[in-house]
Structure 1
Amino acid sequence: MRTALVIGGGVAGPVAAMALQRAGVAATVFEARPGPADEQGVFLTLQINGIDALRAVGVDVAGLGFPTPAIRLRSGSGRLLGQVGTGEPLADGTVGVTLRRSDLYALLREEAQRRGITVEHGHRLVDAVPDGDGVRASFADGGSATADLLIGADGVHSRVRTLIDPAATPPRLLPVLNVGGFAPPQETGAEPGVYEMVFGRRAFFGWAVAPDGGVWWFANPPWRAGAAALTDAQWRTWLRDLFADDRTPATAIVESTPGELRGWDSHDLPSVRRWHDGRMVVIGDAAHATSPASGQGASMAAEDAVQLARCLRDAPDPATAFTAYEGLRRDRVQRIVRAGARAGKQKVAGPVGRILRDALVPVGLRMVRPGAQNWIHHRHIDWDAAVVGPGIRSGRRSG
């Protein structure tokens, strides 16, 4: 049986390990963090295409989070700009869901371990070199491991990406920060399961009401140096000032949120020149990080993991498999990255830009035809279908 080292224990890593196992490749996951822990960020959206990709490897997220099939957009004055769906439901009624990031990570890690996949913590990759017909990975703790393949699922600041291409373009810093939390039940004017998103005068704010009445919220302040070092009190003061002139419950939501607020930067990768080299390949954010505004980061990671495993199952060798995988994925994900960047820029419009945006958004939403976003959300992965690509014979490989 072929073997693989999967670097990264977020979304892409455990899904890749499970998909590879189904394709006849034994994988071990190596995570840099010393143990399971809440990840940066508070919650995420898993869209229909991501749910479909997880189903392809027998993972069900039912019971995690809650459905969020629509977004209602408002201006800072409170004016309703329009409503848009997060993707037409599938025939069985499946819609996108919002769930705690830590819950998704725990589900994927625990399901991988239940299937006999080893997940090693505290192993930060520092180098990887060819080793016969495989690859040897070296870790910061002095350990090493060898396998036939090495898969980089190690995020936007991927070490594997720079090992594949030392001249790789670094991630692009986005012009907004991220902060969020979970507030107790309160009146916000939102319908359960429908995101309310406000283009505020100075910052963007969004929230959704969970089934228990709790308010899950996020804010996108303009980027500023040193934001990661701000204290909880400084974050709360800054957010209160940012939203003071908007007609929104943002201030009340933030002030009622327990715990310590911490913000973080966002990055994207408009294009990564090389996705693979020899026995190494990147997936998920390591290959194509997108703005959080796209709502597609986790879903794209799951798609990558499943499609890579299918290619390795059907191709005669890793080089052919990696080429086929890139052919299946590159155009699609780069288009989504571009769409996410456009959506993110709308959040930081200047005074004139705000006027134009608030005037044009309602017109644009009215022009959106039903199913216009199906190219994103309705991407079904048929696990049993043979991969078609250069160097891959029609029909399935055995094993």
Structure 2
Amino acid sequence: MTRALIVGGGVGGPIAAAALKRAGLEPVVYEAHSGPGEGLGAFLALAPNGLAALRTVGMLERVRAAASFPTTRIEFVNGSGRRLGLLGGEDHLPAELRGVTINRAALQRAVADSAVDQGIRIEYGKRLAHYTESGSGVVAEFTDGSTAEGAVLVGADGIHSAVRRTLGPEGPSPSYVGLLGIGGYSPAVDAQPTPDATTRMVFGKRGFFGYQTAPSGETYWFGNLGHSRLTREEIAAHGDDVWKEYALELFRGDLPDITRIMRACDPAAFRPLGIYDLASLPHWHRGRAALIGDAAHAVSPASGQGASLAAEDALVLARCLRDIRTVPEALAAYEQERRDRVERIVAEGRRRGAQKAGSANPAALLLRDLTMRVVFELAARFGSHAWIHDYRVDFESRAATSEGNQR
């Protein structure tokens, strides 16, 4: 049986392992950390296209059980609370494919446990140093001195991918999109709850804020703050309390619920992270190695598609390795099939993010709100985002190279 080495045990790695096992390969996952993301505080949305991919690899039920609540609609308002648009509504979909919000640690645990249940080996504490390859195989070398050998290597190790540094050192680095991200969980406060299964997104005067009320009354929230690029050390030097006051000041004058929610949250939630994307690499594969997920095409959180795209990648990659004669041909076919869709979504995420920083110019804010109302009205009327959420990978169909060659 052909062994596949998967570097990265976050979200994409275990999903890729499950897909590759279904394709007849023997996958092994190598993760640098000591476990599947324990203690991660961030949360994310899983869209119908990502949930459909999880269903294909037998992980959907466990992931849905770990989810916090359904999120099937997004209500957009300006800083004064005036509605700009409402998107979503997934009643036409099977209940199991309707969007959810899930804590990232819970998602990583769910896909890792599901992979193990499917007989897949995950080795923790294995940080990749580099890899080498020959015509017949690839050898991964880890920082603890151990090695692993297989026929193909998959980099599912995120935006700062060690696999990418070896595969394509000449490629661009991730790009800062001009925003810092904060977020956390606040206990029940005196704030207007969001409608059922709906996230409220606020285009404030000087920042962007999103939140949803959990069934428990707790509020899941995040903020995007326009700011010049800072290193982690520069961010830490300010202290969490300083960042909390900075965020409160940015949203002063917007919906009072925003500051009520933030004041109830621990200062640790306000230490920001820079938001980056990776729009286009010269190539996602070389020889017997390929990249999936954020390692190949990191998307801004504004797209809501990071985890879902990684799951789609996993299915397409596995199908190509199953059906195409040689590994290099299969990896080339995978990239060819995925690149246009993914880069279009990366661009969409960056476009959405560009509206989040706000402005000190009232006229600019008025123009932004008018533009957003038109955009959301057209999207709601014509389903202009359906191409993202309605996409499905047909895993049972045969993959082919551009020349039509199959295994």
**For the superposition of Structure 1 and Structure 2, which TM-score range results when normalised by the shorter chain?**
over 0.9
- Indicate yes or no: 2:368 matched with 1:357: yes
Any conservation in 1 of the 2:190–2:260 contact (CA below 8 Å)? no
Any conservation in 2 of the 1:56–1:382 contact (CA below 8 Å)? no
Number of residue equivalences: 394
Any conservation in 2 of the 1:320–1:392 contact (CA below 8 Å)? no
Aligned-partner residue type, residue 227 of structure 2: W
When residues 30 and 353 of structure 1 are mapped into structure 2, their CA distance, relative to the original with a 3 A threshold, is farther
When residues 175 and 273 of structure 1 are mapped into structure 2, their CA distance, relative to the original with a 3 A threshold, is same
After TM superposition, the structure 1 = structure 2 runs for residues 187-336 of structure 1, keeping only pairs within 5 Å, are 187-189=190-192, 190-224=194-228, 225=230, 226-258=234-266, 260-261=268-269, 262-336=271-345
- Could you say which residue in structure 2 is the equivalent of 1:128? 131
| Cα displacement string for residues 336-377 of structure 1 (whole angstroms, at most 9, x for unaligned residues) | 000000000000143243221012111222222343211111
When residues 18 and 229 of structure 1 are mapped into structure 2, their CA distance, relative to the original with a 3 A threshold, is farther
Structure 1 gap ranges (5+): none
When residues 39 and 2 of structure 1 are mapped into structure 2, their CA distance, relative to the original with a 3 A threshold, is farther
Match of 1:376 among 378, 385, 388: 388
Any conservation in 2 of the 1:32–1:124 contact (CA below 8 Å)? yes
Helix, strand or coil for the counterpart of 1:198? strand
- Indicate yes or no: 2:101 matched with 1:98: yes
Structure 2 CA distance, aligned partners of 1:230 and 1:43? 24
Aligned-partner residue type, residue 258 of structure 2: A
Helix, strand or coil for the counterpart of 2:140? strand
Structure 1 CA distance, aligned partners of 2:358 and 2:109? 37
- Could you say which residue in structure 1 is the equivalent of 2:122? 119
- Structure 1 vs Structure 2 CA RMSD: 1.8
Helix, strand or coil for the counterpart of 1:257? coil
- Could you say which residue in structure 1 is the equivalent of 2:52? 52
- Could you say which residue in structure 2 is the equivalent of 1:33? 33
When residues 89 and 339 of structure 1 are mapped into structure 2, their CA distance, relative to the original with a 3 A threshold, is farther
Aligned-partner residue type, residue 62 of structure 1: R
Structure 2 CA distance, aligned partners of 1:216 and 1:371? 27
When residues 41 and 264 of structure 1 are mapped into structure 2, their CA distance, relative to the original with a 3 A threshold, is farther
Helix, strand or coil for the counterpart of 2:320? helix
Aligned-partner residue type, residue 353 of structure 1: A
Helix, strand or coil for the counterpart of 1:270? coil
- Could you say which residue in structure 2 is the equivalent of 1:366? 377
Structure 2 gap ranges (5+): none
- Indicate yes or no: 2:111 matched with 1:108: yes
CA drift of 1:142 comes to 1.6
Helix, strand or coil for the counterpart of 1:341? helix
Helix, strand or coil for the counterpart of 2:397? coil
Structure 2 CA distance, aligned partners of 1:348 and 1:98? 24
Structure 1 CA distance, aligned partners of 2:235 and 2:51? 33
When residues 340 and 266 of structure 1 are mapped into structure 2, their CA distance, relative to the original with a 3 A threshold, is same
Helix, strand or coil for the counterpart of 1:58? coil
Helix, strand or coil for the counterpart of 1:346? coil
Any conservation in 1 of the 2:17–2:29 contact (CA below 8 Å)? yes
CA drift of 1:105 comes to 0.3
Q: Which 10-residue stretch deviates more, 272-281 or 251-260?
A: 251-260
Structure 2 CA distance, aligned partners of 1:228 and 1:157? 20
| Cα displacement string for residues 270-293 of structure 1 (whole angstroms, at most 9, x for unaligned residues) | 111111111100000011111100
Structure 2 CA distance, aligned partners of 1:316 and 1:132? 14
Structure 1 CA distance, aligned partners of 2:126 and 2:134? 19
Structure 1 CA distance, aligned partners of 2:292 and 2:92? 26
Helix, strand or coil for the counterpart of 2:77? strand
When residues 91 and 12 of structure 1 are mapped into structure 2, their CA distance, relative to the original with a 3 A threshold, is same
- Indicate yes or no: 2:188 matched with 1:170: no
Structure 1 CA distance, aligned partners of 2:2 and 2:396? 20
Structure 2 CA distance, aligned partners of 1:229 and 1:52? 43
TM-score by length of 2: 0.92
When residues 354 and 96 of structure 1 are mapped into structure 2, their CA distance, relative to the original with a 3 A threshold, is same
Q: Which 10-residue stretch deviates more, 34-43 or 291-300?
A: 34-43
Helix, strand or coil for the counterpart of 2:392? coil
CA drift of 1:259 comes to 6.9
Structure 2 CA distance, aligned partners of 1:30 and 1:66? 31
Aligned-partner residue type, residue 92 of structure 1: P
CA drift of 1:243 comes to 1.2
Aligned-partner residue type, residue 338 of structure 2: R
TM-score by length of 1: 0.94
Q: Which 10-residue stretch deviates more, 29-38 or 285-294?
A: 29-38
Any conservation in 2 of the 1:173–1:266 contact (CA below 8 Å)? yes
Match of 1:184 among 171, 183, 187: 187
Match of 1:145 among 137, 148, 165: 148
CA drift of 1:227 comes to 2.3
CA drift of 1:50 comes to 0.1
When residues 139 and 90 of structure 1 are mapped into structure 2, their CA distance, relative to the original with a 3 A threshold, is farther
